[in-house]
Amino acid sequence: MRILSRFSCSLALVAAAAVLAGASPQPKVGELAPAFELTLIDGSKVSSDQLHGHVVVLNFWATWCGPCKQELPLLDAYYEAQKGHGLKVFAIATEDSLQPFQLKKLFAVMHMQSARRIKGPYAAMAGVPTNFIIDRAGRLRYAKANAFELGELNALLVPLLQEPVPAG
């Protein structure tokens, strides 16, 4: 019984430390998306507040990932076709990818923006690619480790892009 009590106290201390340290909850589909800040490949920053009213795709990828190599050009072409309708796509390279100066060459020929890092509770889930979709109102609508195909992008994004931009 005494061991269980110590264990319960330890769990409470760990939970309290996480709250005090500002640990953010894991993003949950259907809930408001937790705030984030991207550091882009050029060093500039973009916050989730700046993206309100847009449909946002956060794509975690790696240079060594075969499905990522197929998905990245698709996401780029999709972004180019839909950006006028309020779509924003950010490709976030995982830490084990190429150095930022090497990624600049790749993204010089692409239309979507690349990020070197993200602050917030977003990360690759069970593997890469991992994608998060946030709607115009800031609600997380999709979170999955899975490479997109065109049909799936259309099914997920077209309805969101047709939603009105929320006031405020």
**pLDDT tens digits, one per residue of 68-87:** 999 999 999 999 999 999 99
pLDDT of residue 133: 98
Q: Do 118 and 38 contact (CB within 8 A), yes or no?
A: yes
pLDDT of residue 81: 97
Which tokens hold the place of 66? 């075969």
Q: Where are the beta strands (DSSP E) in 32-154?
A: 37-40, 45-47, 55-61, 87-93, 113-119, 130-134, 140-145
pLDDT of residue 96: 66
Low-confidence residues of the chain: pLDDT under 50: 1-23
Residue ranges of alpha helices (H) inside 56-167 are 66-82, 100-108, 150-162
What is d(CA 146, CA 168) in angstroms, rounded to the nearest whole number? 33
Question: Which residues, including other chains, have CB under 8 Å from residue 35's CB and lie 6 or more apart?
Answer: 24, 47, 48, 49, 120
What is d(CA 142, CA 85) in angstroms, rounded to the nearest whole number? 19
pLDDT of residue 9: 36
pLDDT of residue 22: 46
The pTM is what? Answer: 0.83
